[in-house]
Each structure stands twice: as structure tokens, then as C-alpha cells.
Amino acid sequence: MYKLFKPTKKISSKLKKALIENPHWILNDFEILDQLITSEKNKTNGNIVDLRDIFLKKTKSKLEDLSKLHTHTISAAYENFLGASNLHRCIIKILEQKNLEKLIDILTTDIIKILQCSVIILLFSGKEKVVLNNPYFINIKNEEIKKIMRSAKLTKKKLTRLKSNSTELYTKKILNESSPKIYSEAMLSLCTYSEDYNSILILGSSSKNFFNEKNKTDYLDILAKVISIQLRNHISALK
């Protein structure tokens, strides 16, 4: 057997006989056919001599492209699912918190981890100041929060804005030197369910592509709504 498969110049007569009796071995095997055609091409210095060759080359590259695309689609579907299941973990954790302090705590501990962010800040401006023992809950003036919302083009319908242009990041202005470097940020409007206050949630990431403007914001919009509802519930319970 060894001899039969030795890289000899010519095919052994036994193997030849077998191949002639079983042409489908080769004809049904894509890889062998591919190899035969590639070697034949190399022999002729790769010069394309036939329209079929051109078509062949194109079909082959189309096949490769589609294979790649297919793999990407599978991986995108998987990431979508992973994204949905992480979003659901966040929603349940947010709903489980029974007061404002606990809500802010969970945002700056568990939620920041699930979302793989570097920083979460909640800007708040109500009729009365709300004092919490958490440095990431920041009371600011109503005019200032309205200015931020205008420049970020946040409205009742557009709840999320992503930004990856590092010179324009809001987190740059409020975080100090020792904070983690932020290269992209998401701003979520939390005003959907109340007129009594204005509030913005800012998520910052150390990766430039994490909150890229081109990304979809469907999941962050849901998160904004869920946090808005809970914020309204907890704020009204303070009164």
C-alpha cells in the first residue's frame, strides 16, 4: 500500500484501475476536483485561457464570501441572543431594587459589569435636590441638563445617543484624571415617564467601538424605559 501512495511520477496500475472503475470517487469529491483544476492552472503559468476559468474563479470567490458571511450571520445571531439575555438580566436586577438608593447602587455595581462598561453616571435635576450616598448620582442644574439633552438631540422619541468621537464625550468633562479612560459613551434620556425632573444616564466604555454611532440602540432604548419607570416610582415614593 505504501508503494501505491508514494509520491511517484506515475500512478500505479492498480490505483489507476480502481479510479477508472470508480470515476465517481473523483467526480463527487469537490476537494479533489478543485486540486486537479488548480494544478492544471499552475502548469500554464496561471494564464486564464478560457471563459470558464474566469467564471470558475468568480464562483469560487463567491462561495468563499458566502461562507464567511454565513459564519458572520451565525455569530451575529448568537451575539444578539447574548445581548438580549444580558439585557434581561439587567431588567430583572433593576426591577428587584426597592428604593432609589438601591437602584443607583445596582447600576454602579452589577449593571456596569453586565454591560461591560467602565463607568455609569446618573445626572439628575428635580424640583428638590435628592441627596444620595453615591458619587455617581450627580445633582445638576435644570438648565445644564436641558442643554446636554439638546446638544445630544435626546427627545421623547430618541432615547439614546451614542458617541465615539473622543473630543466630544461628556464624561471627559466630569471625570477626573484618575478615572478610567473613556473612548465612547451612550447617553440615555430618563425623562420618559415624568415631567417633574430631568435625568440622564451616561454609560462610558474604554473601547472606541462599544458605543459607536453606527450601532443599533434598540436594547439601550428598552433599558432607558425600564430605568425611567423605576426612577419615577422611587422618586414619587420619596415624597
For the chain, report the end-to-end CA distance as a whole number of angstroms: 90
239 sits near a second copy (criterion: CB under 8 A): no
Beta bridge partners of 139: 124
Distance in Å, CB of 115 to a second copy, minimum: 16
Q: Is 12 left (phi over 0), alpha (psi -120 to 50) or beta?
A: beta
The residue within the footprint of a second copy, chosen from 44, 82, 95, 209 (CB under 8 A), is 95
Distance in Å, CB of 122 to a second copy, minimum: 19
Q: Which is nearer to a second copy, 136 or 193 (CB)?
A: 193
Q: Which is nearer to a second copy, 1 or 131 (CB)?
A: 1
168 sits near a second copy (criterion: CB under 8 A): no
Contact 120, 111 (CB under 8 A): yes
Contact 134, 141 (CB under 8 A): no
Beta bridge partners of 198: 125
Site for a second copy, residues 26 to 85, rule: CB under 8 A: 26-40, 43, 50-56, 58-60, 62-63, 66-67, 69-70, 73-74, 76-77, 80-81, 84-85
102 sits near a second copy (criterion: CB under 8 A): no
Site for a second copy, residues 201 to 220, rule: CB under 8 A: 218
Report the helix count and the strand count for the chain, using DSSP H and E. 9, 5
Q: Which is nearer to a second copy, 53 or 110 (CB)?
A: 53
- For cell 445638576, the residue is 140
